[in-house]
Amino acid sequence: MTLETLLIILIVGAIAGWLAGQIVKGYGFGLVGNIVVGIVGAALAGLLFPQLGFSIASGILGAIIHATIGAVILLFVIRLIKRA
């Protein structure tokens, strides 16, 4: 993994985490936590979406959209677990 790849992953994760925090109002983890949620959400979407045959776009924009969807799903799951 090169430095450029790591930087792109962090930027996509940060954007996706921030967007997910905006979509799921009132439930965020701060900047660093949202970056982590975005990265984990991107990994979740990367594993789940190909199995479902789901793809919206390609490139950086597609990565941000997929990571955001994955992060929103992850935030909902975390919210359900914390309520239980």
Select from 77, 72, 80 the least CA-distant residue to 19: 72
Beta carbons within 8 Å of 1's beta carbon, 6+ residues apart: none
User: Is 20 among the domain residues?
Assistant: yes
Select from 30, 33, 35 the least CA-distant residue to 68: 35
User: Is 65 among the domain residues?
Assistant: yes
Q: Count of domains in the chain?
A: 1
- pLDDT at residue 27, rounded to an integer: 60
Maximum pairwise Cα distance, the chain: 41
- pLDDT at residue 26, rounded to an integer: 63
User: Is 5 among the domain residues?
Assistant: no
User: Is 1 among the domain residues?
Assistant: no
Asked whether the whole model's pTM tops 0.85, one would answer no
User: Is 63 among the domain residues?
Assistant: yes
Place of tokens 């985490």: 17
User: Is 43 among the domain residues?
Assistant: yes
CA 61 to chain centre: 13
- Which domain, by its residues, includes 63? 10-83
- pLDDT at residue 28, rounded to an integer: 63
User: Is 24 among the domain residues?
Assistant: yes
Per-block mean pLDDT, blocks of 10 residues, the chain (84 long): 84 86 74 80 82 82 87 86 78
User: Is 4 among the domain residues?
Assistant: no
